[in-house]
Each structure stands twice: as C-alpha cells, then as structure tokens.
Structure 1
C-alpha cells in the first residue's frame, strides 16, 4: 500500500495555486470576455462563434484580452487562496468533527468556506474587469489603472465592493460544487498506477467539477455582472442577489439567468481540469524537490 502523501506547507500550497491560476486565465480569458458581454446584454443573445467574430471584426482581436490586467493581478492570490484555503479548512473541519478522512459532505463544506474566503479578496478586481469588458465603456476607460482611478474618483472607494454579496454566493456555490464533485469523481475513477493516469484522472475530475459548479452558480454570476456593471448612470436596478434574480427572471425570463453559460462552462469545465492538473503537478514537484 502506497504511503500517504505529506501535506504541503501553506506557502507551497499558495505557490502551486498561483501557478495553476495564471496558467488557466492565460488559456481561457477570451471566453470570459464573451461570457461577461452575454450576461450584461439585455438584447438578443449571440452564439459563442458569432460573438468572437463580432468582437474581432468590430473591435479587433486585442479586445478579447481587454481588462486582463485586473484578473492577472489577483489571479495568483485568488487561485492560491482557493486551494490553500480548501486545504486549511479541510484540516480544520476534520479536527473539529473528529474525522480521519475526507468525506463528500466535508469536501462540499470546505469548498464553500474556501469560496467565501476567495470572494472577499477578489471583489474590487472583478469589478474593474467587468467594467473593462463592457463594450459601453470602450471609450470611458483606457486601461486598468485608468478604470480604477475613475471608479474611485467618481463613485467613491466603496464602489469597488459593489457586488460583494453576489460574489460571495457565486464563489461559495461554485467551490462547493467543484470540490464536492472532484471528491466524488476521483472516488469512482480507477486508481491511477502511473503519473499520466493520475494527470488524466485529475483533468477528468476537475473538468466535471468545473462544469457542475458552473451549472449551479451561473444565475448568481449573471447577477454579479449586472450589479458590478452599474457605473452610477441612471437608476440602480440591481443590488442584492435574490431580488435581482427575481427581477431578471420576471422581466427577461428564467433563461436569461443562464446567459453566457456555454462560454463559461467551456472555460471553467476544461479550465477546472487545467487548474487541478497544474496544481497537482506543481504540488508534486515542490513535494519531491523541496521537502524531505
């Protein structure tokens, strides 16, 4: 029987999560731009291919990476926090409830807790990213620093935390679904005998986890985009998560709550697999080379 892997210290968990996060965002960011635009739109929705063509034709290919500076700046601590917090909450809850190993409910609980922790960190960066991705702001903000400066000057520093509640819901639900599904899928997959089989298992589990998390939290993501997209012009229509869900469903139909779903699931399904594969690979490298 193989010996149980030694847990990574927090700083190594942080580093592995950072590398995983930056890798994922560099691969998947254009899909995030398409997703956000679909969620902000109240008109007829476009398919992913059509959206890509429209953006490239009318605004240029570089638009697919507009606003990337904000998520890049927070991506390392964000992803690192996701995985490191999940590891720390796992240890805490195992001790608190007297559990010797991780169970399905524990995996969900630690994921939810890690998601709330992550949300507290990223809200200002998410808000700036949303504003930059909104085509209505193409001539208003000329870069991430310019957007940040104008938001603080025109709307006040607290505006950077607009959408905090919706973001907490979004991340709690996604992380709970993500880590809970990973636990279930890994338990069902054949035991990996080689490194390649382990990488494949991690990718499959991460992809299923990312997909299921996206199915659960897409409505909250739509609400978050609408709340953070408000720039002080006209009446404020969206604020708290649940009333906003009801308003959108009533005025635009329940299907609107799943706008951007295909782009998001294409990003966070395979993206979740990329995250887990890179995180586990870097973790194993650090464990092998820097720990006894």
Structure 2
C-alpha cells in the first residue's frame, strides 16, 4: 500500500494508455493531459481502489508465498531452488488474483473514468461505493470480470517478481559479496526483479485492463486479444510498457524495501511460548 501510494499516478497513466482507442501520447504526455483537462488531483483518481487492491491482492500473494517458502525451506542460509519456488509463487499469485479481482475491477474503472464520455462515466465515490454499485447494478458476477487474465497476470507477476527477487538477492550476496542485510542489496535485487516482472506480465496486463474496463461481458479475453492483434498489431501487448516499468520498478523497490524492514523488525517471526512457572 505504501508503494502504491508512491506510484499511483504512473499506474493511472499506464491504464489510460492501455485503454486508449489508438496509440498516441507517451506516459508524460498522458499525465500532462490528465492534469490539464482534469486538474492536478486527478492523477490520484482511484487511489482508494488501488489501496484496496494492494490490501487484498498483494497481501494475499506475498503472505501465501512467504508462508509456503518457509514451510519447504531446508537450508535457512539460502532460498529453495527455482524449481521449488516457481510452483509456490504461481499458486500464491493465483490465490492473490482471485482475492484481489473485485478491487482490481473498481481500480481500473475509477482510473479510466474521466477519459470516458460523460454519459458513460460511472462516478464511483470510492472503492467501497464502486463495489456496492457493481453488485447492485451489474450483479456480483461482474466483480470477477476479467478473472482469467487477472489470475494469469497474478501468476506471472508473482512468479517473475518474488522468485527473481529471491534469486537475484542470493546471486548478489553469494556471487558479488554484497551484504544480505543492506538496503543497497535489496534495492539492486528489487530493481532487477521489476524489470523481469514488467516484461513478463505486459501482455496479460493489457488484456486484463481492456476486459475490466469494457462496458459489457460480451467480449471474451480471446476475442479481445484477436481483435487487438488485427487492428493494432502484436506490439499492442506491450503498450504502456515504459510507464508500467517506471511504475512497477519503483513499486517493486519500495515494496521489498518495506518488506525487508518489516522482517528485520521481527514482525511475523515465531516467538517462543513462555511457559507458566509452577507456584
């Protein structure tokens, strides 16, 4: 949630670029257009939904991954092998994608709302109002629109982000002699993890965004994919890559820096149970 608060304007620019009718402005041009046409505070439009998404999606995937990694770890001095971490991370991303899907639908709609014609705007007051209105106006099923591509993205994101972070950190420590506890090590590993995650997740992210922003359930993920390839070419899958990386890079860095500090503080570590002394 801390990371999302820092990078929300970049996430908004990414969503606007992914849902645009045709390729046009770059990230900075998109942000300038938002400020010019909608006001400075508009770059934080949908922040409540973004925070709700992190509180559900990211909390779940990180929590499940760390729990399972600890459960299967036999050597505390190094992480398990990639062949062990990958299925664990993929399962964690799948669970996170399911849990976080409702907030993600509201998040994308709120971020893109002002770019729609006035008659098509939804005008959710906040994330919880968005969830309530979707249930009332479209039915609970609409909260899970785009679930398949969102779960695919969650699997790809978690597998590429957390596994690459663990492996990069281990490589930096064992191969380059960096201190495992220093922030410079965490910064370097998380930056590399953000680069890997952005590239791997871009196609699923673009398709997911378009499905969740659609006005109806008529188009499937495959239908949207085929239509986009025909009209825009295969590179449509990497639209918004630069703002996605500029957003995901800092977000990954802040996320893992905060996570490492929370671990260092002892939060979540098992503590010995004090036995009552007999009187």
Question: Structure 1 length as normaliser, TM-score?
Answer: 0.81
Tell me by how many angstroms 1:117 deviates: 1.0
Return the alpha-carbon distance in structure 1 between the equivalents of residues 152 and 58 of structure 2.
17
Question: What is the Cα-based RMSD across aligned positions, in Å?
Answer: 2.4
Mapped partners of 1:107, 1:70: distance in 2: 30
Instruction: Measure the CA separation in 2 of the matches of 1:188 and 1:101.
Output: 11
Pair 25,137 (structure 1): closer, same or farther in 2 beyond 3 Å: farther
Answering whether residue 191 of structure 2 is matched by residue 191 of structure 1, we say no
After superposing the two structures, state which structure 1 stretch, 164-173 or 107-116, moved more.
107-116
- Summarize the alignment of residues 147-166 of structure 1 with structure 2, pairs less than 5 Å apart: 147-166=130-149
- Which residue number corresponds to residue 210 of structure 2? 226
Where 1:42 maps in the other structure, the secondary structure is coil
1:182 to 154, 158, 165: 165
* Pairing 1:261–2:241 present: yes
Report how far residue 149 of structure 1 moved.
3.4
Q: Is the 8 A contact 2:169 2:180 kept in 1?
A: no
Structure 2: segments with no counterpart, 5+ residues? 273-279
Aligned to 1:244: 224
Q: How far apart are the structure 2 equivalents of 1:101 and 1:94?
A: 7
User: What's the CA shift string for 1:230-275, capped at 9, x where partnerless?
Assistant: 123xx833x23x4433332222111111111111111111211111
Query: What is the DSSP-based 3-state SS (H/G/I as helix, E as strand, rest coil) of the residue aligned with 1:286?
Result: coil
Counterpart of 1:209?
193
* TM norm structure 2: 0.85
For residues 45 and 224 of structure 2, what CA distance do their matches in structure 1 show? 27
**For residues 214 and 129 of structure 2, what CA distance do their matches in structure 1 show?**
17
For 1:132, which of 79, 98, 110 is the aligned residue?
110
Conserved 8 A contact 1:104-1:183: no
Question: Aligned partners of 2:49 and 2:136: how far apart in 1?
Answer: 18
**Residue 76 of structure 1, CA deviation:** 2.6
Alignment partner, residue 102 of structure 1:
80
Distance across 1 between alignment mates of 2:26 and 2:202: 17
Aligned residues: 261
Q: How far, CA to CA, are the matches of 2:201 and 2:268 in structure 1? A: 36
Q: Does residue 171 of the first structure (1) align with residue 154 of the second (2)?
A: yes
